[in-house]
Structure 1
Amino acid sequence: MVHCFKLRQFSPQKLKRSNVFLLSAFTVFIIFIYINSELILPNTDPFWLNYKIKKEPKYIKESKLLSDSKLHTNIDSPFIYGCSTPNPQEKANAAFVMLCRNSEVEKVVSSIRSMERHFNQWFKYPWIFLNNEEFTLEFQNEIKKHTSDAKFGKIDMKDWDFNPDIDKDEFHEWIESQGDREILYGNLKSYHKMCRFYAGQFFLHPLVTKLDWYWRVEPDVEFYCDLTYDPFLEMEKNGKKYGFNVMLADLYYSIPGLFRYVSSYIKKNDIKVKSAWKLFTLNSNFITGGSKQDRKNLDGIHDGHEILYEIQDQLYVKKLIHEIKNKDEKMFKNNFQIFDKIFAISKKMPNLYEDRINNEDYNLCHFWSNFEIARVDLFKSKEYQDFFKYLDESGGFYKERWGDAPVHSLAIGMLLDLNEIHYFRDIGYRHDVFSHCPSNAVGKQLPYTGDSFIRPDKPKFNGVGCRCQCPKTYDEIENSDCMRKWEKFIQDDYRDNDVIDVDRWTKRIDRKIKHHLRAGGKVGDNLV
Structure 2
Amino acid sequence: MASIPRKIARLMVFALIVSTIILVAVNSSSFGLGGWFGSAQTGPRKLVFSNNKSKPPEKVVEENYKLLQDVLMKPILEPKTDNLVRPPADPDQYDRANATMLVLVRNRELGQVVRTIKQIEKKFNSKFHYPYVFLNEKPFTDKFMSGIKAVVSGTAYFEHIDAADWEQPDWIDVKKQNQDMRQLDSENVGYAKQVSYHNMCRYYSLGFYNHPRLRQFKYYWRFEPGTDYYCDLNYDVFKFMELNNKTYGFVIALYDVEQSVRTLWPRTLEYLAANPAALHPNGAYDFLLENQQNPHKTKEANGYSTCHFWSNFEIADMDFYRSKPYSDWVSYLDSTGGFYYERWGDAPVHSVGVGLFEDRDKIHWFRDIGYKHQPYTLCSNCPTCSKCKTAEFTYDHLKDQNCLANWWKYEMSESQRNIY
> What band does the TM-score fall into relative to the shorter chain?
0.7 to 0.9
* Correspondent of 2:384 among 445, 460, 467: 467
Does 2:117 match 1:112?
Answer: yes
> How far 1:136 moved relative to its partner?
0.8
Tell me the number of residue pairs that the alignment of Structure 1 and Structure 2 aligns. Answer: 335
Is the 1:221–1:430 Cα contact (8 Å) retained in structure 2? yes
The aligned counterpart of 1:418 is 360
Change (3 A) 1:421 1:223: same
> How far 1:80 moved relative to its partner?
6.3
Does 2:68 match 1:66?
Answer: yes
> How far 1:147 moved relative to its partner?
1.4
* Correspondent of 2:393 among 476, 483, 487: 476
Rounded Cα–Cα distance in structure 1 between residues aligned with 2:72 and 2:376: 22
Q: How do 1:347-366 residues align onto structure 2 when only pairs under 5 Å count?
A: 353=299, 356=302, 361-366=303-308
The aligned counterpart of 2:103 is 98
Structure with the greater alpha carbon radius of gyration: 1
Listed one character per residue, the Cα deviations across residues 117-176 of structure 1 (whole Å, up to 9, x for unaligned) are 110111100111000000111111111111132110000001001111223333333323
Look up the SS of the partner of 1:69 in the other structure.
helix
The aligned counterpart of 1:428 is 370
Change (3 A) 1:80 1:164: same
Rounded Cα–Cα distance in structure 1 between residues aligned with 2:129 and 2:80: 20
> How far 1:70 moved relative to its partner?
7.8
Does 2:284 match 1:277?
Answer: yes
Rounded Cα–Cα distance in structure 1 between residues aligned with 2:140 and 2:415: 52
Rounded Cα–Cα distance in structure 2 between residues aligned with 1:139 and 1:245: 29
Change (3 A) 1:414 1:282: closer
Listed one character per residue, the Cα deviations across residues 368-413 of structure 1 (whole Å, up to 9, x for unaligned) are 1111101111112222111111011111101111000001111101
Rounded Cα–Cα distance in structure 2 between residues aligned with 1:422 and 1:352: 24
Change (3 A) 1:137 1:474: farther
Rounded Cα–Cα distance in structure 1 between residues aligned with 2:256 and 2:301: 15
Does 2:255 match 1:249?
Answer: yes
> How far 1:417 moved relative to its partner?
1.3
Look up the SS of the partner of 1:275 in the other structure.
coil
The aligned counterpart of 2:231 is 225
The aligned counterpart of 2:218 is 212
Is the 2:254–2:404 Cα contact (8 Å) retained in structure 1? yes
Does 2:86 match 1:164?
Answer: no
Cα RMSD of the aligned pairs, angstroms, is 3.0
> How far 1:421 moved relative to its partner?
0.9
Rounded Cα–Cα distance in structure 1 between residues aligned with 2:300 and 2:147: 49
The aligned counterpart of 2:3 is none
Look up the SS of the partner of 1:146 in the other structure.
coil
Instruction: Letter of the 1:392 partner, please give it.
Output: D
* Correspondent of 1:486 among 394, 407, 413: 407
TM-score normalised by the chain length of structure 2: 0.73
> How far 1:86 moved relative to its partner?
2.5
The aligned counterpart of 1:183 is 189
Rounded Cα–Cα distance in structure 1 between residues aligned with 2:385 and 2:301: 42
> How far 1:351 moved relative to its partner?
12
Look up the SS of the partner of 1:130 in the other structure.
strand
The aligned counterpart of 1:259 is 265
Look up the SS of the partner of 2:414 in the other structure.
coil
Rounded Cα–Cα distance in structure 1 between residues aligned with 2:415 and 2:80: 21
Rounded Cα–Cα distance in structure 2 between residues aligned with 1:383 and 1:125: 29
Rounded Cα–Cα distance in structure 1 between residues aligned with 2:284 and 2:307: 11
Is the 1:247–1:367 Cα contact (8 Å) retained in structure 2? yes
Instruction: Letter of the 2:151 partner, please give it.
Output: H
Look up the SS of the partner of 1:281 in the other structure.
helix
Which runs of 5 or more residues in structure 2 are unaligned? 1-64
> How far 1:472 moved relative to its partner?
4.9
Shift >6 Å, 4+ stretches: none
> How far 1:78 moved relative to its partner?
2.6
The aligned counterpart of 1:25 is none
Which runs of 5 or more residues in structure 1 are unaligned? 1-62, 284-299, 303-349, 441-465, 495-528
Is the 1:79–1:234 Cα contact (8 Å) retained in structure 2? no
Listed one character per residue, the Cα deviations across residues 294-334 of structure 1 (whole Å, up to 9, x for unaligned) are xxxxxx679xxxxxxxxxxxxxxxxxxxxxxxxxxxxxxxx
Instruction: Letter of the 1:147 partner, please give it.
Output: V
Q: How do 1:11-160 residues align onto structure 2 when only pairs under 5 Å count?
A: 64-69=66-71, 78-79=79-80, 86-87=87-88, 89-148=94-153, 149-160=155-166
